[in-house]
Structure 1
Amino acid sequence: MLHNQPFPLSSCSDRDLHHLCECLWRWEICVDCKAGTDTLRHNPSCPWPTRAAKLSRFFEYYKVVTRSYIPELLPGDCPALRSHDDLFHLISALKEKADIPRGELTKSHFDGPHVNKGNPPPQSDQNRAVDLAVRVMLMINCAVDDQSLGLLESGVAPLTWRNDETLCQFLKKIFPQEQYQILDAKTDGKRSPGIKTLLTASRLKSIARLTIEPTNDIRDHLRLTQRTGVVLIYHHVGFLIESLTSGHPSSPVGSLEQEIRRGNIPRQLALETLDSLQRVLFPADINSRQLLRTLVAKSSFDPACLSLDWTTYRSENEQEVEYRYLSARLMDLYEEILNPRPRSTLEKWAERRSGARHVMIAILVGVIIAIILGLLALMVSVFQAWIAYQAWKHPVANP
């Protein structure tokens, strides 16, 4: 028998969104905003009236993922998340304790007095709550070992965050750093655009004939599926900008623990993701901007993608971004432009017959045909010679 409250997070109010921004980015929302009154005249420094509009897509994402939380409990059990505030407490614990293994962090949190008013929630529900907190805080779909099979059966392929791993170790595992010098070549001491100028989204569509689709998982950004010809684009620009702004770009980059505490995700990763969107895929040319507007209108891309202003969240030494996390995927896209995989039926048919085996067969068939034609020509020549010989041996007398 399941718990009689199947959807404890189904309703999300403006108050919950206020607390979400306070939890993730330390917004200081004024009393008037929390009361729902106009604050532009009374408190223009409040971030809610001006910055919340740029997070509309993220707020939609938050409502969808929290609505999907369904605790499977027996009578007498308490769900791990009874309200949005419980989720925010858990996110704060993840941010503050990124160097503590998942299993230890989960146990200490759900055994705490602010959560446990009786028996602790079942372990499976605790894990489900932690996974949800990671999806909101980092926009990454993850699961602990014993939950992976069930999620795979439901059509979801989460990343595994083991109980003996800290959040920092988990992020380092799923975001390995690789650097291709060809992407960051320098000319006269300055970084050269190089091949990145060839990787615009319009070229990916026109030359490589790839389909661009949005993704809510930052781990899938620039992931190319060769079989379907789909490249996934993480489009939540508003979320990235807030994460970078809350991280104080003027301050030096600290340890990964400090970056998680200040801005949720690794700062370098956020910079590369934004740079790949604003300068590589969709630069300030007519074709790219038109394509981006189409994606915003028809494919639910974040409208904040249309902004080209990066001065608000970059420090002076971050004007040129060196790619460490996304260089391998950019190289995959570059290879696809150089050697496009056949997409249409005609191209696939021609490609299947363009291999070395088919070339050898075609050559062999050509040789056989040439031999047959040669034999036929020889037979015609012999016949003509025989006719000439008979005419010479048996001349026809003139009347």
Structure 2
Amino acid sequence: MAQVGTHKYGVSGGNSLIWARQQTLRQAVQQQFCTQKILTPDHQRLGSIFTARNIQHISGIKIKWTENLVDHLLLTDDDQTVFIFHCVGFLRFQQSFEEPIYPDGFIYETIRTLALLFPANDRKSRLWLKGLIRSNDQLDRHLSSCGSLRSHERRFGNFSYWHDRLVILKQAFDDSSPRTLNQWWNDRRNSVQWYTFWVAILVFIMTVIFGVIQSVEGGLQVYFAWKALQVPT
């Protein structure tokens, strides 16, 4: 479930795990999936609003499913697309090995990133994911059974292997601005801004409605006055 090396005549579009000649496969895998905690997040906790559904519906970042673990949580297309590894069955199978090829805790943390993005305790996320699985036979059905993270578990400090990619994804999510009415409706990150926008929309609609009513009323008054002038004395 990881693309290894590059092919001379192949174009995959994904990243590859580099396997040097002098390395064993285990060494190459553990070198690729090492801890990465270089970036500093603006906030130490990932809020409950940070879900895959909201990432797509609010920020407009598209989700691209991948079977290449190297690409998991990677942003591409000028931060407009994020890869998400969906093969939960493979991850759980790896947990059954007494001597896994992956670093200690890596598989468990990867499953926790999926629990973060697809929380089972969030009704909207659950229904949204159910619809995706129903419409895409290629998606792993186990994706909906990764569980949920409690508040203290959604801290950046609890992630070591995927820390930096989560920081980058969260920053892209926070920096995004709604561009469609649907995104404005789903964006509750700033409640004051949300209410202000929709109150302005409501005022605008009411102004248009009353303007149309006044125009029709004025037109009718002119019509009836004209008709009155046509009546012979």
The bucket for the TM-score relative to the shorter chain is 0.5 to 0.7
**Residue 246, structure 1, aligned to residue 97, structure 2:** yes
- 8 Å CA contact 1:183, 1:323 repeated in 2: no
Cα-to-partner distance string for 1:348-398 (whole Å, 9 max, x where unaligned): xxxxxxxxxxxxxxxxxxxxxxxxxxxxxxxxxxxxxxxxxxxxxxxxxxx
Describe how 1:89-238 pairs up with structure 2 within 5 A: 139-143=1-5, 148-150=6-8, 153-156=9-12, 158-179=16-37, 185=44, 194-227=45-78, 229-238=80-89
SS at match of 2:55: helix
Partner of 1:286: 123
- 8 Å CA contact 2:19, 2:28 repeated in 1: yes
RMSD over aligned Cα atoms: 3.0
Offset of residue 163 of structure 1 = 0.8
- 8 Å CA contact 1:200, 1:281 repeated in 2: yes
Describe how 1:1-399 pairs up with structure 2 within 5 A: 139-143=1-5, 148-150=6-8, 153-156=9-12, 158-179=16-37, 185=44, 194-227=45-78, 229-247=80-98, 262-278=99-115, 280-283=116-119, 284-299=121-136, 300-308=138-146, 322-340=158-176
SS at match of 2:73: coil
TM-score, scaled to structure 1: 0.38
Write out the 4+ residue segments of structure 1 that deviate beyond 4 Å after TM superposition.
180-185, 341-344
- Structure possessing the higher relative contact order (Cα contacts under 8 Å, 6 or more residues apart): 2
SS at match of 1:231: strand
Amino acid at match of 1:199: F
User: Matched residues in 2 for 1:339 and 1:211: separation?
Assistant: 15
Residues 224 and 181 of structure 1, relative CA distance in 2, 3 Å threshold: closer
- 8 Å CA contact 2:75, 2:82 repeated in 1: yes
- 8 Å CA contact 2:26, 2:102 repeated in 1: no
- 8 Å CA contact 2:88, 2:142 repeated in 1: yes
Amino acid at match of 1:178: Q
Amino acid at match of 1:154: G
Q: 5+ residue gaps in structure 1?
A: 1-138, 186-193, 248-261, 311-317, 345-399
Q: Does 220-229 or 198-207 show the bigger shift?
A: 220-229
Offset of residue 170 of structure 1 = 1.3
Residues 323 and 183 of structure 1, relative CA distance in 2, 3 Å threshold: farther
- 8 Å CA contact 1:208, 1:341 repeated in 2: yes
Amino acid at match of 2:143: C
TM-score, scaled to structure 2: 0.62
Offset of residue 159 of structure 1 = 3.1
User: Matched residues in 2 for 1:323 and 1:217: separation?
Assistant: 20
Q: How many residues align?
A: 169
SS at match of 2:129: helix
> If you compute each CA radius of gyration, which structure gives the higher value, 1 or 2?
1
Cα-to-partner distance string for 1:296-323 (whole Å, 9 max, x where unaligned): 222322001121459xxxxxxx9x9821
